């Protein structure tokens, strides 16, 4: 930096300090800036496999969007749902763990939010089955948003001038209560549909638009490897919400989904919800604890790193042959060692290239899913 710039910056800084002093009365506040016409949330899912999402009410989702991004929903006005669930990351977070209102770290990786209305259970350990009950839990969570008293939450929202008309549009009158907050949030969360990917665009042409590498990856994923046994269905997460142990460790410090292993009757250890792979190229770090940073690391784990946990899924043991003609479901391969895929570098690259075709650009760029808050002068 030369002398001139230093002097210039010095003067500019002094002016800024004066400017701030002068304007002390006109404090800046965060207010939502919404379009003049109602956003069409329900339409985003029409004609797709996410049939439930067409029942989304556009006014409730509009209110839900504001609630989702409003930091006033945390006890010290510092954190919103959107602080951990970022649109550009398909509503996942950047780090292995996320930071709550008081600087505390979540113990699990923040999952992407994707086609939530198709799922029958939420959280990595599947502890909640009702979306409307689920969406208010982070507000009260002692680590995430810390607003433990529902009455205090309602009181806070009543004092914010922009909510009355939003609640009236959504519910017919301006009454604010916890169940309406949950309902509106669940409509917005259900409206976050991911149905427009390169994969979806190619289903009808039998993947004519895929590159050779992507097609090789698709064949590996669906036919040659057991991936689709668990990550199957339109949502790439099985045919609902299921849990499996994939042998990340030989003993898990986070036990995951509670209950008993149906084969051995033992207490479950290391069973986690099978996550959707839609937008997976955007949602790293990966796994319930965010242990892998890249898709290459995940693929290398499945290729060579599966541990011989005594509750490891059959689909990830030698001789898995899941849906194939040699399957004997009455004598599963419980004693076989963990599967070693012995993939070539080309095959690993192909799997990663295929996973990249599950990215939905519309989900991560549509303004109606984005943060509506802007800074404006308090009047
Ligand atoms: C401090 C970060 C943080 C904040 C704030 C936060 N979440 Fe989350 N969210 C997480 C983490 C971590 C999980 C996984 C927790 C677990 O599995 O035990 C999660 C899970 C979820 C899930 C379940 C996804 C699935 O498929 O299982 C949904 C939906 C969700 N959050 C919505 C919300 C909403 C709505 C809000 C705001 C009211 C919110 N979150 C606020 C971190 C956060
Ligand atoms: C036995 C069921 C099963 C099979 C087979 C399986 N997965 Fe998974 N997958 C899971 C589960 C469960 C998790 C989450 C595990 C955890 O966090 O502890 C997961 C996590 C992942 C993730 C990380 C997703 C995220 O958001 O963190 C990717 C990527 C993935 N699997 C890809 C694959 C690929 C590619 C294959 C085939 C080579 C495959 N999976 C085979 C069950 C399975």
| pLDDT of 238 | 80
Mean of the pLDDT values across residues 325-329?
Answer: 49
Say if residues 313 and 246 touch (Cβ distance below 8 Å): yes
CB of 351 within 8 A of CB of 217? yes
Which phi and psi (to 5°) does residue 325 adopt?
-65, -20
Query: Which residues, in sequence order, are bridge partners of residue 273?
Result: 243
Give the nearest ligand 2 atom to 270 CA: 18
Q: What is the mean pLDDT of the segment spanning 242-262?
A: 94
Does the model's pTM come out above 0.75?
Answer: yes
Residue 243 CA: nearest ligand 2 atom is: 12
Whether 250 and 238 have beta carbons less than 8 Å apart is answered as no
77-93 pLDDT, tens digit per residue, is 999 999 999 999 999 99
Q: What angle do CA 329, 333, 338 make, to 5 degrees?
A: 140
Q: For the chain, report the end-to-end CA distance as a whole number of angstroms.
A: 41
Place of tokens 């006005």: 77
Q: Does residue 17 carry a pLDDT above 50?
A: no
CA atoms within 13 A on the CB side of 303: 17
The pLDDT of residue 326 is 47
At 295 the pLDDT is: 98
**pLDDT at residue 10, rounded to an integer:** 47
Residue of 243, 275, 297, 333 with the most ligand 2 atoms within 8 Å of its CB, for mutation? 275
What's the whole-number average pLDDT of the chain?
Answer: 91
> Which of 65, 98, 127, 138 is the best mutation target for the ligand 1 pocket, counting ligand atoms within 8 Å of the beta carbon and taking the most?
138
C-alpha pair distances (Å), 41 with each of 10, 35, 38, 54, 195: 49, 13, 9, 8, 13
CATH class of 198-359: mainly alpha
pLDDT digits (tens, 9 = 90+) for 206-229: 999 999 999 999 999 999 999 999
pLDDT tens-digit map of 285-320: 999 999 999 999 999 999 999 999 999 998 999 887
Q: What atom in ligand 1 is closest to the CA of residue 109?
A: 12
Ligand 2: centre distance to CA 264 (Å): 23
Residue limits of CATH 1.10.760.10 in the chain: 33-195+363-377, 198-359
Strands 272-273 and 373-377: unpaired
Q: Is the pLDDT of residue 14 over 70?
A: no
CA diameter of the chain = 82
DSSP 359: -
Is residue 330 predicted with pLDDT exceeding 90? no
Q: How confident is the model at residue 75 (pLDDT cuts 50, 70, 90)?
A: very high
CA distance 283 to 275: 11
Which top CATH class is 33-195+363-377?
Answer: mainly alpha
Tokens of residue 97, six digits: 């763990």
pLDDT digits (tens, 9 = 90+) for 135-167: 999 999 999 999 999 999 999 999 999 999 999
Lowest mean pLDDT segment, chosen from 268-277, 307-316, 341-350: 307-316
């Amino acid at each position: 930096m030369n002398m001139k710039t230093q002097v210039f910056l010095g003067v500019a800084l002094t002016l800024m300090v004066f400017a701030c002093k002068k304007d002390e009365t006109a404090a800046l506040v965060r207010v939502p800036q919404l379009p003049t016409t109602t956003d069409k949330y329900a339409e985003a899912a029409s004609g797709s496999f996410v049939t439930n999402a067409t029942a989304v009410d556009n006014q409730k989702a509009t209110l839900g969007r504001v609630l989702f991004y409003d930091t006033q929903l945390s006890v010290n006005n510092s954190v919103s749902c959107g602080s951990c669930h970022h649109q550009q990351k398909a509503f996942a977070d950047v780090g292995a763990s996320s930071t709550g209102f008081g600087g505390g770290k979540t113990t699990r990786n923040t999952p992407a939010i994707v086609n939530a209305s198709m799922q029958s259970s939420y959280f990595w350990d599947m502890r909640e089955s009702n979306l409307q009950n689920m969406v208010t839990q982070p507000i009260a969570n002692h680590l995430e948003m810390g607003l433990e008293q529902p009455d205090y939450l309602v009181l806070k929202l009543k004092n914010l001038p922009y909510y009355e008309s939003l609640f009236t549009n959504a519910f017919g009158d301006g009454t604010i209560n916890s169940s309406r907050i949950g309902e509106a949030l669940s409509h917005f969360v259900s409206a976050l549909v991911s149905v427009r990917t390169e994969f979806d665009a190619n289903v009808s042409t039998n993947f004519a638009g895929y590159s050779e590498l992507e097609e090789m990856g698709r064949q590996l994923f669906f036919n040659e490897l057991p991936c689709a046994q668990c990550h199957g269905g339109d949502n790439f997460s099985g045919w609902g919400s299921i849990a499996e142990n994939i042998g990340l460790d030989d003993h898990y410090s986070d036990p995951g989904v509670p209950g008993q292993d149906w084969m051995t009757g033992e207490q479950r250890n290391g069973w986690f919800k099978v996550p959707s792979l839609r937008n997976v190229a955007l949602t790293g770090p990966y796994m319930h604890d965010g242990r892998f940073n890249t898709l290459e690391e995940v693929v290398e784990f499945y290729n060579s790193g599966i541990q011989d946990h005594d509750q490891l899924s059959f689909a990830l043991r030698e001789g898995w042959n899941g849906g194939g003609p040699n399957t004997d479901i009455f004598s599963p391969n419980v004693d076989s060692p963990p599967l070693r895929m012995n993939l070539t570098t080309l095959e690993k690259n192909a799997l990663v290239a295929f996973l990249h075709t599950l990215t939905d650009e519309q989900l991560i760029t549509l303004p109606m899913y984005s943060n509506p808050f802007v800074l404006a002068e308090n009047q």
